[in-house]
Structure 1
């Protein structure tokens, strides 16, 4: 089974007041999104605050998602300060039941292509699991260019997908032009969904889906079906929220919206802190407007 298809939440990591992971809420939240049409789960990514989790916490988060997902795939985010730790995490993710790996560049160190290629080689070769290359130069300061992605596809049979998060709508087309259908292509930024699907993306690793799974799945399915007028009406409604996924405080914003929609809390691990003042009020105003106008975007629900 191809684990890279449909709408796949980059699931947030909930925390208790004592700063430990709230595994019970994570389990319930995961099950709710899957019941509302999501195709799988991606734990330990950027939105999941993977950089603040210990190795053991990451493994337990992945295990929790696997148990919640049943027969749907869990694609574990694999990032670490060192290549050795990333390899160890990849093997641990396989051991607890992950069905795929989302491979990131290393945290902190920004190397040249030879160094980054060696890191990717080691992680992708660590298990036989299908791997997704995550390109997010905005967050990680490493940009995997289409030519480099094509090179990695030749080197690794189990590299089967790319999550393109450069925010450059031209990238998916550029990758396809180089490698055709060799890799499954996915959108990794929320406010580029329709553009990415129009260029051939077949999955969406999404952020606001944590609060709006039904709407996210409907938008994706309408886009994939080529029902662009209906899709754009929903997209236009959703865009003020989706843009929260592409700013430095995306974790704060998405967790706030998720809390207001009744799932989890906005607690985060320091140095992140909850939004206050005008920032918070502006985000809540966007959410309030979206709640008030949803029926206009979905007239069949009126």
Structure 2
């Protein structure tokens, strides 16, 4: 059951070669990199994973490759799409490949609670009893869901087993969801992990975020859940300047890919067009950030 998941779930990047083609071999090295730094599971084809830039055939190949390499760890597949037929196709492909579930955000253009419920009623009527992560990310979807609306969706559709909460400000919304919920679902958070230790304090079950140093995500989670709250904050604070830098939308994703290339996780830092390309100024900023990070980690011991 996805409702029982806890830990560090990585929003996986999609590797491309220097021409912009999907780099399947780098998926293997990237998955090993994530697992080696404490990943408890994966989300593939999310927003920062550039899922919307892939053809259905590419999405199927990327999903299958991650699942095959994940060593039995759960893999959740982002299937959000403007069209429900495309969403249903991607869902079937993902589940046939062995995914643990799918992640869905409401389609853009929904304005009322009844439209929201009508949409998910249609979606679940098409995909059936598939474990689902409800993604509350109005910054990407353009759809704002209130706490009562989210809780009503959870009660109406047992397929929803996880809420990925990344509306801002996140902290009060997390507290409200935890205080008012009936059926318990897992709550994980994204937003580039900008507020991770504080969100842990509000009762989340772990991060569902992307970062070039996934050992920070798993480290903060494990320190916090073991009772070392101050240690979790100290570790987070060492990485915070780089976390902030990677929080610049797709520019931040480009920076993340470059750092992971330097760390040997992927062969190329390419983003598929339309996507930004880092300038020499960006490279110098990353050099400075990584030097400062190394010094901060040395101080932590």
Matched, 1:64 2:58: no
DSSP 3-state at the match of 1:243? helix
- After superposition, give the CA deviation of every residue in 1:25-67 in whole Å (9 maximum; x if it has no partner): 1122112312332111110001110111111111111111110
Determine the structure 2 residue equivalent to 1:192: 195
* Contact kept in structure 1, 2:11 and 2:49, CA below 8 Å: yes
Partner of 1:176: 178
Residues 110 and 192 of structure 1: is their aligned pair in 2 closer, same or farther, counting only changes over 3 Å?
same
C-alpha displacement of 1:100 = 1.2
* SS of equivalent to 1:12: coil
Match of 2:272 in 1: 269
Residue 118 of structure 1 corresponds to 118
Aligned residue number for residue 256 of structure 2: 254
Partner of 2:289: 286
For structure 2, list consecutive stretches of 5 or more residues without a partner in the other structure: none
Distance in 1, matches of 2:257 and 2:102, equals: 24
Partner of 2:154: 153
Alignment partners' CA distance in 2, 1:39 and 1:216? 11
Q: Does 1:15 align with 2:12?
A: no
SS in 1 for 2:49: coil
Using the TM superposition, give the Cα deviation of residue 98 of structure 1 relative to its aligned residue in structure 2, in angstroms. 0.3
1:269 and 1:32, CA in 2 relative to 1: closer, same or farther beyond 3 A? Answer: same
Equivalents in 2 of 1:110, 1:54: separation in Å? 23
CA RMSD of aligned residues (A): 1.8
The answer (yes or no) to whether the contact 1:172–1:200 under 8 Å persists in 2 is yes
* 1:196-243: CA deviation from partner (whole Å, max 9, x where unpaired): 1101101211211xx323332111111222311111110110111222
CA contact (8 A) 1:94 1:127 kept: no
Report deviation, 1:173: 0.4
Is the alpha carbon distance of 1:54 and 1:115 closer, same or farther for their aligned partners in structure 2, counting shifts above 3 Å?
farther
Contact 1:161–1:186 (Cα < 8 Å) also in 2: yes
Using the TM superposition, name which of 253-262 and 5-14 deviates more: 253-262
1:267 aligned counterpart, secondary structure: coil
CA distance in structure 2 between the aligned counterparts of 1:197 and 1:179, rounded to whole angstroms: 17
Q: Is the 8 A contact 2:154 2:183 kept in 1?
A: no
CA shift at 1:181, angstroms?
5.8
CA distances 1:118-165 after superposition (whole Å, capped 9, x unpaired): 333333451423211111111222122211110111111121111111
Runs of 4+ with deviation above 6 angstroms: none
Match of 1:206 in 2: 209
Higher relative contact order (CA 8 A, sep 6+): 2
- Distance in 1, Cα, partners of 2:237 & 2:124: 38
Counterpart in 2 of 1:232? 233
Corresponding residue number in structure 2 for 1:78: 79
Give the TM-score taking structure 1 as reference length: 0.91
Change (3 A) 1:167 1:225: farther
Q: Which residue of 2 aligns with 1:87?
A: 88
